[in-house]
Structure 1
Amino acid sequence: DEDQTKYYFETDTLLDPSSMITKGSYENKLFFDFTKYASAKGKIASGYQNEMKSTEDEARKEELTKILMDMSADISVKREEISVKYPELFIGRLYKAMLEVVAIDAPEDLGKDEAREYQYMWLRNHYWDNVDMSEDGLVRSPVFHGKLSYYMDNFMPPIPDTAILMTDALMNKIEKGGSDIQYKYTLQYLLDYFQKSKYMCFDKPLHHIAQNYYCEGKAYWSDSAFKDKMCTEAGKMAPTLCDVIAPDMNMPDTSFKRTVRMSEITTPVTVLIFWDINCGHCKKEMPIVSQYYDSANKEQVQIYAVYTQGDWEGWKERIKDEEFKFINVGAAFGIDQFRKNYNIKTTPQIYVLDKDKKIKFKKIAAKDIKSTVNFLLEEQGIIEKKEEKTEAN
């Protein structure tokens, strides 16, 4: 019931934390008392750390390591005591959020890998147990950001569907907790995280956030212009998300007398490429593509290469000079909406499709075509998986 808006501090001219006194706020007194305690421990620890750097005595190093670990544990215990004794105060909630969740032991009947997975899943599911999802103030401290960053970097696997499940689970948990500021901060953090992610197909969780949070009005703080932008971008992404059937194309070949429909390709894997004869990167990548195709099993993989510009004579000449033997088609006569469907802004763009023409890999380098194609062939049981080589004992 203390009026937390009326308090003051006293200190000396050296601004020494050990001489700081607070009046009018018991919560701030708790904070400064703990800070003094931790600071005193830190000064002692600093001496031990300096000794550890200078000594060559391994036994003494082990002893110092244990002392430092014990001192760190003492500070954690002190912090936990405050969180337990004062759960109604912000400092109690803050210090509880700083506590590490320790994994439980896995069942004894599990193997080593299964036990590791069990503990990983348990930690992932209980990671937020010590965080009060109703406390807005946590976002104003470094603690919430640190926990969120660690969670994404250490518990988020490079699997887009799992990323979506984890995103929804966390947002639902915060929504139930009731902190609007946590909800806003987390959604904005996740949007930025997926926009910057280098993982394959992580535009899928990005599309999910745009479509299911911004377009649905759950990002209530966003103005109409930003919401419209997000929805527009989500619409552009939708046709080429991983596990979506690639938009079909029916384009003329170099003869301009017949068209080739991509969906009629019958090989188990199709490599789709968008390229341009004047694109500098294409000039480096396309010979690698051609070299791969010349050595590939044509019953297992076909390449559907789409020329995106309009220099038809230059295109035909390049194909002839480079001896590109795969399927070559061009976006002639304006009969195909490939730019809209595939949102082509740069070239080359390389997609790898399975037997159902679902997008499995996208925007890869030419050198990675072989490994991704083989992965899909192995997945379909067409070729045997290569056993990892192990050294003989």
Structure 2
Amino acid sequence: MKKIILLLTTVCIFSLASKAQGYDIKFNFKGSKDTMMYLVKYTFDQQYIADTCKKIKNGQVQFKGKKDLDKGVYTLVSQEKSIYFDFFINENQKFTVTTDHADIVNTLKSVGNKENEQFFSYIKFITNKNVEFGKIREATKGKNKADSTKYVNDKLKELNADVKKFEADFMESVKGTFVYDVLNLKTEKEPKEIPKAKNGRPDSLYQYYYYKSHYFDGVDFKDERIIRTPFFDDRIKKYFDNVIVQHPDTVIQEIDRVLGKCTECNLIYNLLLGHFTYKYEQSKIMGFDKIFVHLADKYIINGNAVKCGVYSAETVTKIKDRTDILRNLLLDSKVAELYMIDTIYGKQVMKMGFDTAKTSKSVTDLYYKNLEKLTPMFTTLYMVKAKYTVLVFWASDCGHCQTEIPKLSENLKDLKDKVDFKVFAVQTKDDFETWRKFINDKKLDFINVFDPVHLNNLKERFDIYSTPVIYILDKDKKIKAKRLSADQVPDMLKMLEQIDKAGKK
């Protein structure tokens, strides 16, 4: 069962009916031993308790309130938090449902509510077909593999044909109703006739583009009721995770298209914007931070998210700060210059007192006082002349780094003289002696540098919240890959080299 969260009154989740008439929903639940039940509503990928019945006697359950409930699909939940069945709460919010615990689905009836009668007839048919499927599997016991496979396939074909015909007839009978709108969310749109490809087989490209272009047919993104169903969130997630090409530019285009179907600031728009923002800010797929930056720029930082109640002004400020960091670290972005000190000059710089400076002013004063000495000591990132630069941020006291950095060194040995690369390895701490000892002990043949002058603001500029962090840059110091593991670096270098060679042919 999905997580149930106590219902909270917030701007972005709830809308009040202009003329509240209240609700009175009764359940005659024969054979139920529950002493308490919950009325739970779906809202995108969460479920919220809308009401609780704490007085149940002989299976008589009643949920009653003075204000109308939000329209959508609800579910009756037992005191043990298990779902009994779904039902509709729409215009009619005063009705009775009867059922028997011995056979809940097949005994469902709704007095005074046509939508629920229609919906119950649907779930009865589907449930019984599932039971038939179980019996088919049972009937294969004792048969050999060939016979059982043929038997199951033949029966499945019959079952699927029955279900397909029933669903088509049922959907036609409820067209124009909310029942149709809800079940349409789980209905796959497939072409009736598929042309043949050149190889004589069904054209899979035609099937894909038909499926994609008709995926949201009949879905009214302006009707807030659809987000209070058990199918809308799955429909959205499947489309963005499995249907469309997983490329940031494609995802951005599709998000804009879907949000464009919504009424700005309505419940669907607000929840989808929040969902996409969180999803792509947290994404581990390389390059997908571009989607988050796009969402922030187009929908959030401009003030619309505050106006719509999606985020508070404080949260928008945090999103803007995060976006400002990521914007400069997107794939193909040119990284900023780094002014670092290598191991040769480390001791001299440490004696200048930067490590004991207490304020930014004292660091600045020390910098300008020693500027003439420091200038020739700097090793900069843009001094590195190679087709690829492996830019590594690590710390000598980081346990994971102590494993990954020597592994990186070992992994890259096979690529020497095969790919033109250099490693610019940045120690993020000031512990010079420990760092230098580790380099010598592990024979790290990198350009080893650190920032004792505190000149580069490494953590913010390169989004370093844990170490190691590894980027691959091209000859112009543009980011070609990022946040790689030590094992991924050699393969990525090989792939970049292959792409480059293929582009020159």
Q: Give the TM-score normalised by structure 2.
A: 0.67
Q: What is the identity, as a one-letter code, of the residue corresponding to 2:223?
A: E
Q: Is residue 211 of structure 1 aligned with residue 297 of structure 2?
A: yes
Overall identity of the aligned pairs, in %: 26
Deviation at 1:363, TM superposition (A): 1.2
Q: Counterparts of 1:121 and 1:50 in 2: how far apart (Å)?
A: 39
Aligned to 1:388: none
Aligned to 1:245: 334
Residue range with higher mean Cα deviation, 343-352 or 22-31: 22-31
Q: How does 1:230-309 map to 2 (within 5 A)?
A: 230-256=319-345, 257-295=376-414, 296-297=416-417, 300-309=420-429
Deviation at 1:110, TM superposition (A): 8.1
Aligned to 2:483: 363
Counterparts in 2 of 1:77 and 1:136: CA distance versus 1, 3 Å: farther
Q: What is the identity, as a one-letter code, of the residue corresponding to 2:473?
A: L
Deviation at 1:342, TM superposition (A): 0.8
1:380 aligns to what SS in structure 2? helix
Q: After superposition, what is the alpha-carbon deviation per residue over 1:176-203, rounded to whole angstroms, capped at 9, x for unaligned?
A: xx79333233233323432443322222
Deviation at 1:6, TM superposition (A): 3.2
1:240 aligns to what SS in structure 2? coil
Aligned to 1:351: 471
Counterparts in 2 of 1:156 and 1:53: CA distance versus 1, 3 Å: farther
Aligned to 2:495: 375
Instruction: Check the 8 A contact 1:134/1:179 in 2, yes or no.
Output: no
Counterparts in 2 of 1:299 and 1:26: CA distance versus 1, 3 Å: closer
Deviation at 1:349, TM superposition (A): 0.9
Aligned to 2:123: 35
Deviation at 1:90, TM superposition (A): 0.3
Instruction: Check the 8 A contact 2:388/2:472 in 1, yes or no.
Output: yes
Q: How does 1:82-121 map to 2 (within 5 A)?
A: 82-103=170-191, 105=194, 108-109=197-198, 116-117=204-205, 119-121=207-209
Q: What is the identity, as a one-letter code, of the residue corresponding to 1:212?
A: K
Residue range with higher mean Cα deviation, 244-253 or 294-303: 294-303
- How many pairs are equivalent? 381
Counterparts in 2 of 1:252 and 1:39: CA distance versus 1, 3 Å: closer
Q: How does 1:316-331 map to 2 (within 5 A)?
A: 316-331=436-451
Deviation at 1:292, TM superposition (A): 4.4
> Counting helix residues as a fraction of each chain, which structure ranks higher?
1
Q: Counterparts of 1:259 and 1:383 in 2: how far apart (Å)?
A: 36
- Stretches of 4+ aligned residues off by more than 6 angstroms: 382-385
Q: Counterparts of 2:225 and 2:498 in 1: how far apart (Å)?
A: 51
Q: How does 1:67-216 map to 2 (within 5 A)?
A: 67-103=155-191, 105=194, 108-109=197-198, 116-117=204-205, 119-175=207-263, 180-216=266-302
Residue range with higher mean Cα deviation, 235-244 or 272-281: 235-244
Residue range with higher mean Cα deviation, 303-312 or 126-135: 126-135
Q: Counterparts of 1:169 and 1:107 in 2: how far apart (Å)?
A: 31
Q: Counterparts of 2:479 and 2:275 in 1: how far apart (Å)?
A: 27
Q: Which runs of 5+ in 2 are unaligned?
A: 1-89, 346-375
1:69 aligns to what SS in structure 2? helix
RMSD: 3.2
Q: 150, 154, 160: which is aligned to 1:66?
A: 154
Aligned to 1:227: 316
Deviation at 1:350, TM superposition (A): 0.6
Q: What is the identity, as a one-letter code, of the residue corresponding to 2:297?
A: Q
Q: After superposition, what is the alpha-carbon deviation per residue over 1:6-42, rounded to whole angstroms, capped at 9, x for unaligned?
A: 3323445756443433232222222223333334444
> Counting strand residues as a fraction of each chain, which structure ranks higher?
2
Q: Give the TM-score normalised by structure 1.
A: 0.84
Residue range with higher mean Cα deviation, 362-371 or 144-153: 144-153
Q: Which runs of 5+ in 1 are unaligned?
A: 386-393
Aligned to 2:95: 7
Q: What is the identity, as a one-letter code, of the residue corresponding to 1:168?
A: D
Instruction: Check the 8 A contact 1:101/1:130 in 2, yes or no.
Output: no
Instruction: Check the 8 A contact 2:240/2:251 in 1, yes or no.
Output: no
Q: Is residue 335 of structure 1 aligned with residue 455 of structure 2?
A: yes
Counterparts in 2 of 1:120 and 1:381: CA distance versus 1, 3 Å: same
